[in-house]
Each structure stands twice: as structure tokens, then as C-alpha cells.
Chain A
Amino acid sequence: MNVFRFELRRAWVNAAVWTLVLTGLLVGLIAGALPAFLESRVAVENMLASFPPAFAAAFGLQLDNLFSFGGFYAFGFLYYSLFGAIMASAIGLDLFSREKREKCMDFLMTKPCTRSRLFLEKLLASLALLLASNAVFMTASMLLYRAYAPDPLLPGRALLAASSLLLTELVFFAIAAFAAVFAKKIRSVSGTATAIGFAGFLLSALYSLLGEEKLRYITPFKYYDASKAFFDGVFEAKYALVGAVLTLALMIAAYARYTRADIPAL
């Protein structure tokens, strides 16, 4: 497991920073803003009424349940997803293009280790980072849920809603790993990851604006809808399925390419 350890050592700091930012945002929104937001409901509703409805939709505001813990928590997911997508993309790009970026494919690929094993250890290291990050996010979510949500508590639903972040991140991780393996050259991990994350954000905004159902199939932020999970205790099967199939398909394609491709001379 030397590759696994090596990758973890090189990637954990970035993942830790993103996790702090993400969890900080969550705590800030719920502990900092939620109580005041609930108190000033009338003022907020008046303010939102003065904007065009499309505006509120684009920013993830669903007025029917916004003034509740679940509604507010789910509203925040547009932004948690954005940060999570950037983090997951960065991990996928970083780990799977490391040798390509640093021009040392020859070094790694002439070690007595099958390419499948290299791929698998990199994949495990990525998953370890994503899981650790989400363990922090979920723990924070559950603590906040206990502290701020009114009775009766349904921790199963809250946990399912929180898991929407991990599942969304997996989609973006797969997109990024696919890109890293197929691209001839990756110039900047953070730049490309940010671009991928924002593309997800924009698709989501576009979907909310237009409300076109077909668009949702290509909107990764909406494959695993936190609001639906929180209020109904399920993800919508067809979209969740699209998300899962897409994630798997991209990873399988990345694996096939990684294990078979010719390594060009520099």
C-alpha cells in the first residue's frame, strides 16, 4: 500500500483545508444565520417578493419550506455542493494526473507494480480523503440538527440528506479522474477543478431557472437532492440512478484507459 500512503501524504492538506471551509460554511449558515433568519421571516419574505421569482430559484431558494431547519439546510446544499464538487474534482485531478503533470510517468510505470494496482491504490486514497471529509461534514450536520431542529427528530432522514454531499462529490470525482486520465495535459489542478465545480453550479442554476425536467439528467447537483431526502426520506430513484451509473461508467472508462494506454516518451 505504498502508493496509497504516498498519495495520502501528498493530498491530505488540501482536502483538510476544503473540509474546514465546507464545514465552516455549514456551521456559519446554521448556527450563525438560521436563528436570525427564522426570526425575520416577514422581512425576508417581503424582500424576496420584490425580486423576480426566477432570481430566488436560481439561488436555490424554495419558499415553501425555506423557513424550517430542513429547508434552510437543503438551501445551503447548493453551496456545499459547489465546494464539495471543487474539492472532489481537485482530488480526482490531482491523484490521477500527478505523474502526467510532473512528467514522471516513466518512473511510476516502470516499478514492479501492475497498473491496476496503481489505479486501485490511487482510488482508495481518493475515497479515504472523500470519506474522511464527509465524516466531518456529517458529524457537524448531525450535531447542528440536534441543536437547531425542532422535535420530532428524524436522524435517519437528516443523515440521508447529509449523504447527498458525498454522493454528489463522487460524481465530480469520477468526472475529474476521467478527465485526468484522458487529457493529454493538465495545466492547473485548482483552476480546472474550480471550472468543473462552477460548471456544475451553473447547470444547477440553469435547471432551477428553467424548471425543465430533462435538464436535471445532466445536472449532477440535483442527482441526489438533499431537500427531497430530508422531507421524504428518499432520493428520486431515476436521478440517483443516473448519478450512480455515470459515476461508475466514468471510473470504469478511466480504469480501462489508465491500465492500457501507451505512455509516450517525453
Chain B
Amino acid sequence: MGYAIETEKLTKYYGKARGIVDVDLTVEEGEIFGFIGPNGAGKSTTIRTLLGLIKKSGGSAAIFGMDCEKDKVKILSEVGYLPGEVFYYDNMRAIDLLRYSASFYKKDCTKRIKELADALSLDLNKKIEDMSLGNKKKVGIVQGLLHAPRLIILDEPTSGLDPLMQRTFFDLIQRENERGATVLFSSHILGEVQRICDRVAIIKEGRIVDLRSIDDLRKNSYKKVSFTTEQPVASFSLAGARQIAQDGLQTSFLYNGDINALLQKLSSLSLVNADVSEPELEEIFLHYYEEEAAAK
């Protein structure tokens, strides 16, 4: 099976300003792929290049084996896109917008529009401009999914959604994924990526700095450790521990190494309490930024 998305040295400059540089990405068919990085790192630029909204400056980009510029129309008929901020035509009911959207695809989408609207409890007869931000977003979601796309591209999709809606939204995305759709999902909030993604790429200042599976990232690399002792620990050190923070009787750090070594070290202390947990992605990724800062 081919890749849903494959880019090689994909580069985009806006005049002299850096957009993205040498981005290599491969997203397999059927996976949910997370794309994270801070604002301005190049997530949107990458996505917009894939969608043919902007022209690349160099490299190559392909979706389902087709070139993103040459075969744009063919690709777009298989892609559903939800931008971060949703705006539509004035003075239009949701159903009119969705019908207009559906008219671009060579299939009948009426049934799916209704199903999706029901799942999101969206009133299709309301004018879009009178809707709340969350409801506008729902229109956007239905609009992106109504043609049962094989690839769903979501650019910061959860901004403006309340936690309950986010849950409904992720359930919907997961159902689409079970239906067979590949999902590319950009975000600067790591928690939501952690929630549904299989693999994740981290982009920073226009370049991909890491690409691995969520499991690998979480289970094999870092533990979040904190413990409290009866007496203050003079200066705690352990191979594989980083970001060591000591505050009175409490010590905490991120640990990457042999778990036995960690337990031996801990058992040599007289503990009041200890906690070993999986860190949030935020904490894991912090070190990319710290390394950067250290290099400067």
C-alpha cells in the first residue's frame, strides 16, 4: 500500500521569509498522523502546500501517489479539509452552503450531510452568520467530511470548540478513521494529539525535528518521576534524568533509561511518597526547545 502523503525536501519561501525547509513526511494510509509545533513553525504552510493553496518553492509533495500540483483536482476530490478558522458566505443557511460544497463532488452527499449534522446536532436551516463559533465550526466539519474523503486534513481543528464538542469531534474523526480515512491533524496543543494520533511529527522553525509513534514517544523514552523524602536530598543525580527540580523535600525529573536503575536509586532513599507516571507530551517536547536555547 502506498503512502497517503509523501513529501520530500518540501520547501516554501515567501519571498525571502522562511515558510518550511526540506520537510520530509510520510503518512501511511489509514493512520491518524499528528503534526505539532508552536505557532508560526510551518504547520499551516505544509498543509496549504499539500492542498495546492500555495505553490512550493522546491522539493516534492504527493498525495495517494499523485503530484500535489499537477493532479490537484483529482487529489482534492479525495481530500476533506477543515481550516482552523471557519468563515463562509454571508446570508446563507448551513444547508445551502453544504449543498454548494457537495455540488463540487461527483456523488450524492445528501444522506451523509444529514447523518453528520445529526451526529453533531447541527441545525441546518439556520443562517451561518447567526451561528455561534462552535456551530460554525460544525458546519466546517460537515463541509469537510460530506464527500467521505479518503484523506482528512485538519488545521488546528479544535480552536473554539468546548471540551464536550471536542470529544464529539474526536469521536467523529475516529469513526472516519475506522471507515478507512487517513487523517492529518495539526495542532499546537499536544494533549489532543496524544489523544488520537498514531504517529506524530514535530515541526519547529520550518523544519521537522522529530517523527515517531506516540507509543514510542511516551512508553520508551520518558517517565515523569517525583518523590518526597523525609530529609532533604543533598544533590540528586542519576544517569538518564533530566530537568531535575528540587523543592524542599520534593524532587521531580524526567527519566529516560533503565527502569531498574531508577528503582534501585529510589530504594536507597527513605521515601515518604513516590510517583512514576507518563509525562504529557508538553513535558517531553520541552527539551526540544531547551536544547535550542542551550545551543544559543
Contact = CB atoms under 8 A, between A and B. Distances in A.
Contacts of B276: none
Interface string B15-53: 000000000000000000000000000001000100111
Interface stretch (B78-86, B170-178, B213-221, B225-233): B78-86
A98 B89 contact: yes
Nearest to A106: B83
B112 interface: no
Given A2-B103, A6-B100, A102 B51 contact: no
Interface stretch (B68-76, B195-203, B263-271): B68-76
Interface residues of A, number: 22
A131 to B, nearest CB: 24
Interface in A104-158: 104-107, 109-114
Contacts of A64: none
Interface in A147-177: none
Contact of A107 (B14, B72, B79, B88): B88
A262 interface: yes
A265 interface: yes
Interface in B133-157: 143
B56 to A, nearest CB: 10
Contact of A106 (B75, B81, B89): B81
Contacts of B75: 112
B39 to A, nearest CB: 11
- Listed residue (B52, B81, B100, B101) with the most chain A CB atoms within 10 angstroms of its CB: B100
B53 A106 contact: yes
B48 A102 contact: no
Contacts of B100: 2, 6
A110 B83 CA distance: 10
Contacts of B103: 2, 6
B68 to A, nearest CB: 12
A227 B143 CA distance: 54
Interface in A89-112: 98, 102-107, 109-112
10 contacts: A102-B87, A102-B90, A106-B53, A107-B87, A111-B76, A111-B101, A113-B73, A264-B54, A266-B83, A266-B85
Ranked nearest first, the 8 interchain pairs of A and B with the lowest CB-CB distance are A112-B77, A103-B87, A2-B103, A262-B54, A112-B76, A111-B104, A263-B53, A110-B81
Interface of A: 2, 6, 10, 98, 102-107, 109-114, 260, 262-266
Given A107-B143, A263-B48, A266-B84, 17 more contacts: A102-B90, A103-B85, A106-B81, A109-B51, A109-B53, A110-B51, A110-B52, A110-B76, A110-B81, A112-B77, A113-B104, A260-B55, A262-B14, A262-B54, A265-B44, A266-B83, A266-B85
Interface of B: 14, 44, 48, 51-55, 72-77, 79, 81, 83-85, 87-90, 100-101, 103-105, 143
